[in-house]
Every structure is written in C-alpha cells, then in structure tokens.
Structure 1
Amino acid sequence: MRKPNVIVFFTDQQRHDTSGLHGNPMNLTPNFDRCAREGTHLFNSFTCQPLCGPARSSMQTGRFATETGCWRNHIPLPQDAETLAKVFGRNGWHTGYIGKWHLGTDDPVPGPERGGYREWLGANLLEFTSDAYDTRVFDGDGRRVKLPGYRVDALTDAAIRFVDRHQDEPFFLFLSFLEPHHQNSIDNYPAPYGHTVLSNLWMPPDLDTLRGSAPYHIGGYYGMVRRLDEAFGRLMDALRSLGLLDDTVVMFTSDHACHFKTRNDEYKRSCHESSIRVPTLITGPGFKGGGEVRALFSTVDVAPTLLDAAGLAVPDGMAGRSILPVLRDPKAPWRDDVFFQISETETGRGVRTAKWKYAVTAPYDPDRPDSDVYREAFLYDLENDPYELVNLSGMSTFRPVADDMQGRLLRWIEAVEGKRPSIEPHVGVDPFQRIPWPGAGQDPARHAIDPYRSPLAV
C-alpha cells in the first residue's frame, strides 16, 4: 500500500472566525468550509504560543515553546531537535518546505537550520525579504529567487510544481504563507489588487466593541483571507487533477490569530481567543467524514497527528497527542483543557476548558522564559461571553472557578516547565459595583491593556 502524502497549508495570524464554519457571514472561505465538512473540522483548535517563532517551533516538534527553547522570537530552532521533516525523511518521504520559516538566524537560512527539510524554497523572515507583489525567497543553495505574482499565488504555484515533480513518490510538504499577517514595513494588510473588502463588512463582536486598528485594517485582512482560500482550492484541484487526492493528508491551520491592537499595542501575544484560536481542518485518508470534532486541539498535537496519520510512531519526546483515536471513537480519552504560554508583551500563562479561560501574567524579561511569581489577570466565561468582553477575574462570586482553573494551570506548568510558581490573587472591586466602560474620554484599546483596572475590564 502506498504511503500517504502529507501537506500542511499554513497561514499566519488567521482568526478562527474568518471561516464560515465559525460564523463569518461573508463567504470568505468556501473551500475551507467545504473541505472541513467533507473531512474533519477541528472546531476547538488553539495555538500553544501566540507568537510566530515559538508557535512554529511547536508545530515542527510537537513540543511546547519552553521545551524547544524557542520561547520568544529570534531564537533559532536547535539543530538537534526532532522534527516532522526528520521523522518523515528517514522513513522514506521526500520532504519540502516553501515560504516563511522564522526559526533560523538569518536569510538565507543556513542548511543545518532548516529543520531537516530536504528541498527548500523559503525565507526566514518573509515579511522583510518580500512584499505583496515582490515575492523573494531563497532556494536550497542559498540563491535569491523572485517568484511572479501576488505572494500567496507565487508560493502556491511553487507548491503545485513541487507536488507535480514528486507525484510518483511519497512526499511531505510544508507550505507556509505570510498572509494574512500584516506587512511590517507599512503596518498594513495588503490584499491582492481588487480583493480589499470595502462594503458590507462583518465585524466580530470583540472588534466591533473594542475597535483597535480593525476599522482601518479588516478590509485588507479579509481580502488576504479570501485569496488564501482560493489558493487552498487551487492546491486541492491540483491534487485532484494528478489523481493524488485520495492519497494525500492535507492539514489547514495557522500559527496564531489577530486581535488588531485591542488587547495590547500590537496584534497577538495575549491570552484571548482573538490571539490563540485558529481555523483547522484535516482531510484525506483517515480523515474523510470525520465531521466536526469538539475536542480541544493544540499546536503541539499537529506533529503527532500527522505522523500517526502516515502510520509512523510518534517520538517519545513529543508533548502533544494524535487526534486520530478520537476520530475513531468519540469516547476515547482526551484532555479537557489546553495550556498556552505568552512572551514578549508579558510573561504569561493560561489554561482553557470548554467553558472557562484563566490566565496569569508577570513582567516580561527578555532573558528568561518564565517567572517565579505570576498575578491573576483574566477569567472568562466562554459559554456566555465567547468574545471575552467581561473579565470576571477578582470577583468573589467566581473565586471557586478561579481556584479550579488555577489548579489546572499549575499542573500544566509543573508538567511542561518542571516547576511550581506562586500565583497572587487578583484583588477586584465589589462584584456589585459597576464601573462605566469604556468611560468618557477613555480609549477602549488602551483600557483593554490593563487587566487590573476593573473586574469588568476586557
């Protein structure tokens, strides 16, 4: 029996609610929505670190960012790390990487820093080597290559060429886009020509309430998402035309999401759903007809799931788990919470269940991945407040919930980081006191940055 091909279609900074299956009414993702319905839709999918480099290190290794050592940006992936590419490569798959890497020291990325990928067409910091209509990457010999077309299309064309070249052998392809991440040089979201959404914009409730930069950026962001979905459809059509569709496992996911400067003064690095929740589907052999899976899925589960889907043993050092047993038996044992870490704006830790979100924070130290002392910062009731507009932290009414969530968080920290920090309680105002929000003359975006202002603060 032929070994299955495996493709990861990897976007950057894409919110889960850009998809129709998560309630977006603008029909931005018809290909994603259809493939998720036909395959397996991982409805509750979360990054374990809402930051590019750390999330990518977890994606490649199945380990948390503090375990890989890449707990903030600008720390290269250790060259001896066990990665997806190394496992697939030594078991007979031809491996290839196309697009943004963000786990190296420089551009072009030196060969030993490429995570074991055999074929290479990428850049460490694609946002700085290229622009929306100026896609510049490096090949396996370190030579600069300019690809024609809008950046999403240029990388998709390269991926289709890769699939065509290797259709007669099992392959593992990681296709990593920059979109819908902003273009750093202009702090904007440049959609392809004619794709910027200018009318009938649907604004998610958190952005509609808190605003941030969304009024200026959401139209371009949506245009980028639409083009990514078109590219995903093109790639699936290429597999169909080559007769590979039934032999190829395809995962669509993202490294983290985007809160448009509503939770701090940039776009991610927070505990909120708008930072950590991402759209994820898997289709192909083993995943067709899997339906909507509500199990809590994390970035660290990506590598174990893909290896398991290919019939390969999951290395012992991986912290994540394969979701396949849950697809085969919905009653199979699975975790009931997920853990995430935050760096650069703060040193944060959080845990999420199906109903509750709890997070703690400490001052950020660029030389240290953790803290000995955290302070309670956020508690959200996700069933009744899915867009996290009412922070319950510090309210005596919810102290039993906070205590339970704190216990869960400490167990995660001990298991992943090997230590047990102390957590100071959030001392809030009387639960019956209602402080006007955002208040006359106050900026709601800046209000949102301070989690200690009021128990009703976002």
Structure 2
Amino acid sequence: MAPNVIVFFTDQQRWDTTGVHGNPLDLTPNFDRVARTGTHATAAVTPQPVCAPARAAIQTGRYATATGCFRNGIPLSTSEQTLAHHFAAAGYATGYIGKWHLAERDPVPSHERGGYEHWLAANLLEFTSDAYRTIVFDEAENPVALPGYRSDALTDAAIRFVADHHDEPFFLFVSYLEPHHQNELDNYPAPEGYAERYAGRWMPTDVAALSAPGGPAVQHVAGYCGQVKRLDEGLGRLLDALRSMELSERTIVAYTSDHGCHFKTRNAEYKRSCHDGSIRVPLALCGPGFDGGRRIEDPVSTVDLPPTLLDAAGLPVPPSMQGRSLLAAQRPTESFFQVSESELGRGIRTRRWKYYVTAPGADPWTSPAADRYVEHELYDLDSDPAELTNLAGLPSHRPIAEELRERLVNRMVAAGESAPVIDPAPTRAGGQRRADPTVRTWDVRPTRFGHQR
C-alpha cells in the first residue's frame, strides 16, 4: 500500500531550538524522538532565507531563480508542478492547511493553490490571524475561524484531515506561522504562561554575542521558545492521532522549517543573511523508508525534500526537480543557497566551511541574479560555529576560498544560472592565522579522537 505523507512545516525556526542539537530547555522531545529513531539531517539548510522563495522551493524542488519566485511578493507560477500535482496524479488526496505565502491575495483563488484539492489556509496567516484568533479560508474562499491557540488550531485541523482520509492514501502539508513574529506587534506571542518558563534561561551563542542590551533577542527569545514548545506538543498530538488510527507504520512524517531567525543581529530583520542563524533549520523524517536512526551528516537542503518524498512514496522524480533525494546513494557534500531582498548573494555550506559572495550595486529586490560577485564572507564552522570571525580576504585562507569559489560557481550553473565572475575579497592582514593549503580541510571527516581524510 502506498504510504501517506505529512509535512509538518514551521516558520522561522532555528535548528538549535531542538534537543538533538543541544538545546537545554527540553523544547522538542517529540521532534527529538523522530530525529533519533527516524532519519535526521543534522545540517539542513534552506535554499533561500525568506518566506516565499523558500516555500516555492519546498513545493517544487526547484531553486527560487528557477521558479521565478526569488523574493516575497512574487506568486508561484501556475505553470509550476508542485508536490500536490505529483501526489494527486498518483491517486492521493491532497490537503493544505495554514500559511501559503505564494499567491497574490487572500483568500487565495483556486488557481493559485498549487494544485491542492482540500484547502484550509491563508496566503498571509500573520495578517489574517493572531495568537488566539485564527482565520483561514476554505475551498469556497469562505473565512473559517478555528478555536484555540493558533498552532493548536492548525494541528486540530490536520488531525481532522487525517481522520477524514484515513482509508485512502493522502498527502497533507500543514504550514504553521509559529515561531514567526506577529508582524504588527513585532513580538513572539507564546501561549499563556509559556514565555515565562524560558525567560533568561537560554540564548543562541551567535545571538548572545551580537545582541545589544535590551535588544530584540533579549525581549523575544523566551516567547520564541514558548512557541517552539507548543509546536512540538502539536507534533506529539499528531503522531498520537496517527498511532490511534493505526496509520503510524504507513505514514511518512517530515518536519522542517522555511528558514531560521537571528533576532536582528545580522541585519535590520530576522533573516535574509548567509549565517546559520538565517539558513539552518531542523529536518527529520520518520515512517516507511526512514525509520532506523539514520543520521545524514553532510549538509542537505530543504529543496531536497520534494524529490525525497516522491522517491519514498515510489513515485517518479521529475527531471525538472533540482533537489536530490535523501535516499539517493550519491549526493553533493555541500548545500547551495541564494539570498535576496537584503542583498543579492550566493553561498555554499559544507560540513566545515561557509563561503558567501554578494553582487555590489545590484538591487536585490528587482534582480534575481548577477554576472559579477565579490567574496564577502568565509567562516570556519569547526572553530567558529557562531560565525563571529570572517576569514574572507586573509592570505592564509586564499587557497580554501579559491576551491570553494569554484564549487560555488558549479552549483550556480547547476541551478540554472549563468557562470558569474567572482572577484576575490580585498586582501587584509590576518595576524598569526595559517591554513595548510595541502590539506583539503573541507573534505576532512571527524572521528572520535580527531580528524581523518
């Protein structure tokens, strides 16, 4: 029997809110169980750290410049084939619940719903709802008020969908707003009493190092953590519902997010930068094909999720998809990402290195790509996981930058872009730093007692 598929999709959730990534607050026991017993991509990266482009990629398996949806405000073309189209063609009931952010307006007209048959969603859920007032729209574009805290309301709707379709194969995409901020208030409204649990208890290392006293992170991390906790409780309820309906063993559940959150420490917004605070997200799957405790240590992209889900369901992966199935034997050892709106940038992340270039003078709101870029940032994630020391332009790291530059150009071309010129970063003094150019350190693999090639 064909497996059911559910995507549990959060908004703006950092990877290090999860226990399997060392968070000390016990925010995500249900996600952690999925990651430990299922398949955990330990270094998952979004292909674009802003809502609409990331969502277009996770619906189509194609990069933002390929779909044309390279920034917010550009609807996903109706010519694009989404996961819903592929699963529906295979006889699945398809459903979408929550935030869409790929249409021109609310309510979302039927032709802009990406092929989803059952619909209970809003294009911009942050503007049609708040924490305890959830308004979405049904297939007839009628407003529907869902009771309860917002993430609970969407989880309730997801459980109803599963119950209604338990006797047929289904594909459900449930898209939460949490732990995104409430735009008009610029805060992170957790359920009553939840922010108080986490006030002053934890802050990400990069955010703690870069935050101003009394800044956004100090004000909002506790509420953000409270939102993550309630999301994880919702995941637990959904998994319990699958178990009670005897669907656990034939349902794939994938959990991930569109991008991260750096709490205005890298720019004037919460994302839209090359740093892990913006681009690194949780990603784990359980169910048929994914159980057994597998860990994928090389970086992967959420653009890989669509071909993965089709592959796991035994459906053909269209050649137009640019992601690679996580079930494939051979995969790239780095993830490629694009940045828009704040700046026009391109980058790759390997296990050890982050390499990033920007296009000076380009308008990141109107230009999807450029012919010329300049090296902007280089980080050694082994020694500097918080990305506080930019190594771009240091003579000691020039050989590494040159190798990564070639790999980045190759990934840009593979994504459908023209091969650009990338100028080296201006040379600057590096003190006592030294990198051995004879050791391909980006290919080194960790062992228990050190490193080996």
Q: Does the 8 A contact of 1:345 with 1:364 survive in 2?
A: no
Q: Give the superposition deviation at 1:417.
A: 3.0
Aligned partner of 2:429 in structure 1 is 430
Q: How does 1:252-291 map to 2 (within 5 A)?
A: 252-291=255-294
Q: Does the 8 A contact of 2:63 with 2:303 survive in 1?
A: yes
Aligned partner of 1:328 in structure 2 is none
Q: 1:349 and 2:346 equivalent?
A: yes
Aligned partner of 2:191 in structure 1 is 192
* Structure 1 Cα separation of the partners of residues 191 and 364 of structure 2: 38
Partner of 2:369: helix, strand, or coil? Answer: coil
Which amino acid letter does the alignment assign opposite residue 57 of structure 1? Answer: A
Aligned partner of 2:402 in structure 1 is 403
Q: Give the superposition deviation at 1:200.
A: 5.0
Aligned partner of 1:320 in structure 2 is 323
Q: How does 1:354-369 map to 2 (within 5 A)?
A: 354-362=351-359, 363-369=362-368
Q: How does 1:117-132 map to 2 (within 5 A)?
A: 117-132=116-131
Aligned partner of 2:441 in structure 1 is none
Equivalent residue in structure 1 for 2:336, among 332, 336, 339 = 339
* Count of residues in correspondence between the two structures: 427
* Structure 1 Cα separation of the partners of residues 417 and 169 of structure 2: 39
Aligned partner of 1:168 in structure 2 is 167
Q: 1:257 to 1:365 in 2, by over 3 A?
A: closer
Partner of 1:63: helix, strand, or coil? Answer: coil
Aligned partner of 2:210 in structure 1 is 210
* Structure 2 Cα separation of the partners of residues 401 and 198 of structure 1: 41
* Structure 1 Cα separation of the partners of residues 219 and 427 of structure 2: 34
Q: Does the 8 A contact of 1:97 with 1:175 survive in 2?
A: yes
Q: How does 1:222-301 map to 2 (within 5 A)?
A: 222-301=225-304
* Structure 1 Cα separation of the partners of residues 203 and 171 of structure 2: 37
Q: Which moved more, 1:423-432 or 1:156-165?
A: 423-432
Could you give the per-residue CA deviations for residues 103-153 of structure 1, whole angstroms, max 9, x where no partner exists?
000000000000000000000000001101110000000000110000000
Aligned partner of 1:303 in structure 2 is 306
Return structure 1 stretches of 4+ with deviation > 6 angstroms. Answer: none
* Structure 2 Cα separation of the partners of residues 39 and 433 of structure 1: 44
Q: 1:74 and 2:73 equivalent?
A: yes
Return 5+ residue gaps in structure 1 as ranges.
326-331, 435-458
Aligned partner of 1:379 in structure 2 is 378
Which amino acid letter does the alignment assign opposite residue 223 of structure 1? Answer: G
CA RMSD of superposed structures (Å) = 1.2
Q: Give the superposition deviation at 1:429.
A: 2.7
Partner of 1:324: helix, strand, or coil? Answer: coil
* Structure 1 Cα separation of the partners of residues 390 and 373 of structure 2: 17
Aligned partner of 2:181 in structure 1 is 182
Could you give the per-residue CA deviations for residues 309-344 of structure 1, whole angstroms, max 9, x where no partner exists?
11101011000111113xxxxxx3221111100000
Could you give the per-residue CA deviations for residues 37-91 of structure 1, whole angstroms, max 9, x where no partner exists?
1111111111000010000000000000000110000111110111100000011
Partner of 2:377: helix, strand, or coil? Answer: strand
* Structure 2 Cα separation of the partners of residues 364 and 418 of structure 1: 17
Q: How does 1:419-458 map to 2 (within 5 A)?
A: 419-432=418-431
* Structure 2 Cα separation of the partners of residues 375 and 99 of structure 1: 39
Partner of 1:417: helix, strand, or coil? Answer: coil
Q: Does the 8 A contact of 2:342 with 2:364 survive in 1?
A: no
Q: 1:56 and 2:55 equivalent?
A: yes
Query: TM-score normalised to the size of structure 2?
Result: 0.92
Q: Does the 8 A contact of 1:6 with 1:250 survive in 2?
A: yes
* Structure 2 Cα separation of the partners of residues 410 and 364 of structure 1: 21
Aligned partner of 2:149 in structure 1 is 150
Q: Give the superposition deviation at 1:428.
A: 4.1
Query: TM-score normalised to the size of structure 1?
Result: 0.92
Q: Give the superposition deviation at 1:425.
A: 2.0
Identity level (%): 59
